[in-house]
């Protein structure tokens, strides 16, 4: 017993080092698997508050470009609205039974990140604004990510520029499905894999979300095909997708809640 | 004792805030960021207990990790260099360290640069290995380590020169 205690006292530095290094390694490995990181995230009162107050200042720097983005989106939506066939008065809409499939919330990115291997963003909406895990996040131009951790007023978003994210996407023309992943190299591109060889793929074609995952509705724009090649087994295409979004400069985002999500996942039995 | 204690608390907070609010948004050429918060570990008094240094480094790394959502990579790298610091001190300062009388303001520039370089490169190698976490992409790890180290060392030296009078 004496010897054991002596050993511990003699090597206390090394043992402490091993313990703490082991803990950090555990946190690191947890953060590499989807939805597993438990304690260390920026969606808490302290870090969220700091980022929020910093964002109050830095938000002014790119006010002009963000305004232009919002104005462009307004213009597009207004055009859509005016071109809709105005035959609403011929249809009876009962507002009590009217149900919407998707609900939208707006939020601001208070911490952006795009240079790491696993990028996580922080937004200024949380449980108090009915934001929950696995809601989709998009911007006016296209897809941004999926909500991961939430606290009272803040939430973290697993960006599409994250090695652990995998989002169901498809070719706009032909409905061939694949999954969107990121190889960690360039923040302008993501990779679409598992598109069957039979699909007609052409550079410049548009990629959209598929609506199969119950996170994003079908048709959220992702990007255009930059280049493509067959994988090693020569059965599937690996497509390099140029994103519509400039992930290095996003500020205003929309959060999508699928109102039927519970029903869908109950049906699928998970 | 009290003033030393408060200096290090202030240094801890200032370095963390500067790191997460300013330096992590530089992204020079897309991915090069300096990580000068390790100055806290580098300039920690030599006389103090090693256990205290290792614990504080863990706390420092974990705080940065919390802000950056990076799991535990900064905590791991910080604990590593905190544990390895005596060896680095011995190899860069030699005899002065043996007598336990280093004052970082008075040592000559050359050995200080060696000290910072060793500490930074070691920290960055562990950091980026944990971040990328794949042996097959070792070239990317080395590339990131090299470029970020140059940036970090340059900035650390500049910062220590600028603030050397005040901390005397």
pLDDT tens for A87-124 read 555 555 555 544 577 888 899 999 888 888 888 899 99
Which of B75, B80, B132 is opposite residue A27, by nearest beta carbon? B75
Do residue A54 and residue A150 come from a single domain? yes
Averaged confidence pLDDT in chain A: 84
The answer, as to whether pTM is greater than 0.90, is: no
B19-65, pLDDT tens digit by residue?
A: 888 888 887 777 788 898 998 988 888 776 788 889 999 999 999 98
H-only helix segments in A34-83: 45-58, 63-83
What ipTM does the predicted assembly reach?
0.83
Shared domain for A122 and A212, answered yes or no, is no
Q: Does B62 touch chain A (CB under 8 A)?
A: yes
Cα distance between residue A95 and residue A107, in whole Å = 27
Q: Chain A contact for B28, CB < 8 A?
A: no
Q: Tell me how far apart the alpha carbons of residues A170 and A178 are, in angstroms, rounded to a whole number.
A: 6
Q: Is B26 on the interface with A (CB under 8 A)?
A: no
Residue A255 — φ and ψ, nearest 5°?
Answer: -105, 135
Domain that holds residue A220: 167-243
Shortest CA distance to A42 belongs to which of A119, A107, A104, A132? A119
Indicate whether A237 and A255 sit together in one domain. Answer: no
Asked whether residue A71 falls in the same domain as residue A157, the answer is yes
User: How many beta-carbon pairs below 8 A join chains A and B?
Assistant: 107
- Worst-scoring range by mean pLDDT, A70-74, A116-120, B99-103? B99-103
Put simply, the answer to whether B69 touches A16 (Cβ < 8 Å) is no
Q: Chain B within 8 Å of A72 (Cβ-Cβ)?
A: no
Tell me the CA distances in angstroms from A47 to A53, A54, A133, A135, A213, one per residue in order.
Answer: 10, 10, 19, 22, 31
A219: left (phi over 0), alpha (psi -120 to 50) or beta: left
Domain match, A143 and A70 both: yes
B52 inside domain: yes
A117 in B contact zone (CB under 8 Å): yes
Contact B54 A12 (CB under 8 A): no
Q: Which structural domain range is residue B60 located in?
A: 2-162
Considering its fold, how many domains does chain A have in total? 2
């Amino acid at each position: 017993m004496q010897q054991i205690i002596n050993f511990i006292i003699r090597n206390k530095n090394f043992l402490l080092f091993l313990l703490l290094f082991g803990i950090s390694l555990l946190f690191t490995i947890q953060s590499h698997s989807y939805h597993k990181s438990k304690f260390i995230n920026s969606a808490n009162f302290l870090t969220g508050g700091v980022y929020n107050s910093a964002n109050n200042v830095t938000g002014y720097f790119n006010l002009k470009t963000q305004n232009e983005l919002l104005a462009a989106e307004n213009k597009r939506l207004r055009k859509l609205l005016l071109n809709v066939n105005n035959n609403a008065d011929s249809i009876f809409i009962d507002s009590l039974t009217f149900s919407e499939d998707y609900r939208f919330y707006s939020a601001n990115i208070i911490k952006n990140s795009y240079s790491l291997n696993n990028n996580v963003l922080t937004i200024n909406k949380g449980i108090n604004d009915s934001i929950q895990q696995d809601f989709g996040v998009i911007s006016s131009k296209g897809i941004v990510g999926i909500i991961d951790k939430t606290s009272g007023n803040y939430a973290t978003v697993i960006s599409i520029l994250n090695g652990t994210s995998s989002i169901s996407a498809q070719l706009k023309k032909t409905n061939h499905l694949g999954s969107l992943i990121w190889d960690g190299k360039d923040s302008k591109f993501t990779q679409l894999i598992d598109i069957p060889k039979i699909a007609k793929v052409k550079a410049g074609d548009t990629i959209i979300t598929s609506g199969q995952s119950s996170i994003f509705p079908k048709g959220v724009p992702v990007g255009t095909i930059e280049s493509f090649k067959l994988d090693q087994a020569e059965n599937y295409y690996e497509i390099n997708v140029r994103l519509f979004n400039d992930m290095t400069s996003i500020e205003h985002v929309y959060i999508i809640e699928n109102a039927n999500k519970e029903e869908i996942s109950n049906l699928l039995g998970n | 004792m009290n003033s030393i204690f408060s200096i290090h608390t202030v240094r801890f907070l200032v370095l963390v805030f500067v790191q997460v609010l300013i330096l992590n948004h530089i992204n020079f050429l897309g991915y090069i960021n300096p990580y000068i918060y390790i100055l806290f570990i580098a300039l920690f008094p030599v006389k103090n207990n090693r256990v205290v240094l290792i614990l504080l480094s863990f706390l420092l790394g974990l705080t940065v990790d919390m802000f950056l959502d990076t799991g535990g990579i900064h905590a791991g790298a910080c604990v590593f260099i905190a544990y390895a610091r005596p060896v680095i001190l011995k190899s860069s300062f030699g005899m002065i360290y043996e007598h336990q009388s280093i004052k970082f303001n008075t040592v000559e520039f050359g050995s200080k640069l060696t000290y910072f370089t060793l500490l930074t490169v070691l920290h960055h190698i562990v950091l980026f290995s944990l971040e990328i976490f794949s042996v097959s992409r070792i070239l990317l790890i080395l590339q990131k380590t090299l470029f970020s180290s140059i940036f970090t060392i340059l900035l650390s030296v500049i910062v220590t020169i600028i603030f050397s009078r005040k901390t005397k």
